[in-house]
Amino acid sequence: MPSNPKTPRRIDMLPTRTLGTLQVSALGLGCMGMSHAYGSADPAESLATLHAAADAGVTLFDTADMYGNGANEEFLAPFLAERRDEVVLATKFGFVNDENAKPIGLDGRPERVAGCVDDSLRRLGIDVIDLYYLHRVDPQVPVEETVGAMAEQVAAGKVRALGLSEASAEDIRKAAAVHPIAALQSEYSIFTRDVEDGPLQAAREVGAGLVPFSPLGRGLLTADRAEVAKALSGNDFRHSIPRWQGENLEANLRLVDRIDAIAAELGSDGAPVTAAQVALAWVLAQGEDIVPIPGTTRRKHLGDNLGAAAVALTDPQVAELTALSAVGERYPQRTLFRR
């Protein structure tokens, strides 16, 4: 059946990849925005998006205890109650928030791990966490001690596999010496390449896959000016990100125009290809051990994102996209989120 020329490229069912011993869909779903950080979301549409993702073959769903002080985990519970057998559920711990869900510190003390696991299990309404991440390595606690306590939760049957988020190459190797590490989660996109300078190589050395968060540059790489303008109006933390401000933003949007042009080239002889699909296809092309988790709260964007699995970039296109370099830092200078 010929493609509808007005419908962006979609894929009926996703291919799979592996993270350690876990088999997951080649694209996952980041759930943070359903209750945290990007302003308000429609709960009904977010829930429908979760089900649509599972229907399309998405199996990796990602959350964390810090997102809304547990509210994001609680939001996922009704969905998990219906579709637990179809889901590889990933969550994280390590941040300490204030009452407004603003991070104010890190706490990776071993004695804290068991309680965090139990709290997440209760909020999620499940018996075991498939992939449990240390959200950031606490500089006051040796990573081996934190991961050792996490490994005890694997032995107790409450966790299946362990991961690290935004960890250094040194910490990845130290952690893997204590227990197998299935995944490294780090920001990675055409515009954010920090992980290539050591951590990605270390992850591959120890047999861990890479799970890129914000593979669409927190929405900057979609080439949708209306969405960018909307993101910067209201209660959205992107107001504080340097590459989303002033001249930096204008320079980055000019770079995004090239991504949009490549999308137009790819879609010239069939179903349209979106800039988001090009950006995700570039991430997927960086290795079979890479499983990006673009976040969205809407079914329309979900369908567009998943269509990236059907987009084949040429070698020259990959090279051109690789050469693009964002202007401005990905986080403010002083923040707990920086490695």
What does the angle CA 299 – CA 300 – CA 302 come to, to the nearest 5 degrees? 60
* Residue 333 CB coordination number (10 Å): 7
80 within 8 A of 72, measured Cβ to Cβ: no
The single-letter DSSP state of residue 185 is E
Tell me the two tokens of residue 272: 């349209």
Contact 278, 266 (CB under 8 A): yes
Q: What is the DSSP letter of 23?
A: E
H or E, element range at 205: helix 199-205
User: String of b and e for 185-201 (b: at least 16 CB within 10 Å)?
Assistant: bbbbbbbbbebeeebbe
Strand locations in the chain, DSSP E? 16-19, 22-25, 29-30, 60-62, 88-93, 95-97, 103-106, 129-134, 159-165, 181-187, 209-213
- Quote the tokens at residue 321: 């996209």
Residue 333: half-sphere exposure toward Cβ, Cα within 13 Å: 0
Extract the tokens encoding 30.
Answer: 């980041």
Beta bridge partners of 187: 213
Please state, in angstroms and rounded to a whole number, the distance separating the CA atoms of residues 126 and 237.
30
Active site residues: 67
